[in-house]
Amino acid sequence: MNRGREFISNTIILFFGKFATQLVSFLCLPIYTRYLLTTDYGLIDLYQTFITLLIPFVNIRMDVAGLKFLSENRNKEEEKGKIISIIVSLFLISSFVSLIIGVVLSFFIHIHYFWYVLLNLIISSASIVFLQMLRGLKMNKEYSIACIITSITLLIFTMLLIIVMKMNAKSILIASSVANAVCIAYCLIKIHPKFDFKIIKESKTKQIIKYSTPMILDASSWWIVNVSDRTIISFFLGVAYNGIYSISCKFSNILNSIFLIFNMSWQEAIITHKNDPDASMYISKLGNEIIKLFLSISLIIVAAIPLVFDIAIGKDYISSYNYIPILLYSNIHSIISTLIGSILVVYGETKTIAKTTLISAVINIVINVLLIKYIGLFAAAFSTLIAYVIIGFLRYKKCKKSIDFNLNIKLILIYSLLFLISSLIYLYNYIITNVINILLIILCLIILNKNSMNYYINLIKKVKKS
């Protein structure tokens, strides 16, 4: 299978799992906004924000280690057994330590639903590790099935607990924990790990720890860039505003959710072809095609949201509409920086990853704190955008030196101008202007993507035949 067909094939397989996850996320939105108060939902969203921060410390990035080391040893059965045993052992030790710390903290810190939060943290951390081990073993179909099972379970328990049993916001944490537990069970059945502590080698354990440890800092810094806004909003404006901002992020994160599928295929493509004679040219071409695709998707999203927003969202959250374009454009730059970051990770530039993310995280916090009293939620949106632009610039500067990766800057500027025009029409929010907006975007995208569309259509046809 050639490189293009291989990339498309992996993307199609992974699409179904991630699509199910995103679909359920949006199916749950009307339930949350109609049955839960803004303060309750804002509080749980804040807890989930901190869960996101703590997951890398609980699983000590064994998810990243599992993907890398299992990918490199897919044809070595004995080596795979060692790696799985080491990763699971290290995770169990880390989880036990995290549980002890959580129990101790419960005596000094009062947090609503504390035990539900702690349980969700540990189970979510475990499911991420096992899912990435499936990918490392090249079990992409099983990975997608696991995501689908998790999504269906989450939707069923969300409806049962909130609509039928009339439970409060803690039901979100319960449903998430149950869904992730089911995911872990499925992964265990498929992996069939043989835990044998006798085959654990000290040298391999040190190698895995050395690789994964710097990624903890990177993940925690990403959290600061991504969701420190929620903490600052809750402190300065209140949890109700955090709930409104969270809904804005749900819409803008559609782009990131779709990108996660391509990013997984992108990572595999870099790992597989990094030693090819034309690796630099291939990676640059594929990277620019992915960026072009998501710039196009962002234009479609910003034009389509006005048609569905009032239907999907309750009246208490209506003001979240105003912040979506800025956050959506922020996610474009998040995608660019993540694409470049994946290249740096594969080529061993993990220190650069951590350094650039940390710098952007600090800038994000400073700008947010300085402006939030004056422009409210717009401060959080603008600080996130600036942080992503900076991290992308710093990583690109390093990546260009390392492997001669070249971004199509002209393309990005053209699409950015189109996005600005479409966003201004979006803010008017009249039926006629919304329809005109969609028609103009479709026309522009057909003109700009004619060659790319023909290329991908032909590739998909070849994948189907094979």
* DSSP state at residue 196: -
pLDDT of residue 459 exceeding 60, the answer is: no
pLDDT of residue 315: 78
pLDDT of residue 143 exceeding 80, the answer is: yes
**Do the beta carbons of residue 334 and residue 387 sit within 8 Å?**
no
Owner of token pair 């909003």: 233
pLDDT, averaged across the chain: 86
CA distance 343 to 392: 12
pLDDT of residue 109: 81
Closest CA to 34 of 209, 227, 211, 163: 163
CA distance 84 to 133: 8
**Do the beta carbons of residue 90 and residue 62 sit within 8 Å?**
yes
pLDDT of residue 404: 79
pLDDT of residue 284 exceeding 70, the answer is: yes
Condensed to tens digits (0 to 9), the pLDDT of residues 228-254 reads 788 889 889 988 898 899 888 888 888
pLDDT of residue 382: 94
More confident residue, 157 or 218: 157
pLDDT of residue 344 exceeding 70, the answer is: yes
More confident residue, 448 or 418: 418
* For the chain, percent of residues with pLDDT exceeding 70: 92
Condensed to tens digits (0 to 9), the pLDDT of residues 378-412 reads 999 999 999 999 999 999 998 887 777 889 999 99
Distances (CA, A) of 250 to 28, 131, 328: 11, 23, 10
pLDDT of residue 142 exceeding 90, the answer is: yes
Q: Give the lowest-confidence range in 54-58, 88-92, 189-193, 413-417.
A: 189-193
**Do the beta carbons of residue 209 and residue 197 sit within 8 Å?**
no
pLDDT of residue 346 exceeding 80, the answer is: no
pLDDT of residue 463 exceeding 60, the answer is: no
pLDDT of residue 132: 92
Total-model pTM: 0.76
**Mean per-residue pLDDT for 4-18?**
81
Owner of token pair 């030790």: 93
pLDDT of residue 93: 94
Ramachandran sector of residue 76 (left: φ over 0; alpha: ψ -120 to 50; beta: rest): beta
pLDDT of residue 240: 86
C-beta contacts of 16-21 below 8 A and 24+ residues apart = 16/144, 16/147, 16/148, 17/143, 17/144, 17/145, 17/146, 17/147, 17/148, 18/144, 18/147, 18/257, 18/258, 18/260, 18/261, 19/261, 20/147, 20/148, 20/151, 20/152, 21/147, 21/150, 21/151, 21/257
CB atoms near residue 362 (< 10 Å): 14
pLDDT of residue 196 exceeding 80, the answer is: no
Ramachandran sector of residue 191 (left: φ over 0; alpha: ψ -120 to 50; beta: rest): alpha
Q: How many CA atoms lie within 13 A of 327 on its CB side?
A: 26
**Do the beta carbons of residue 29 and residue 250 sit within 8 Å?**
yes
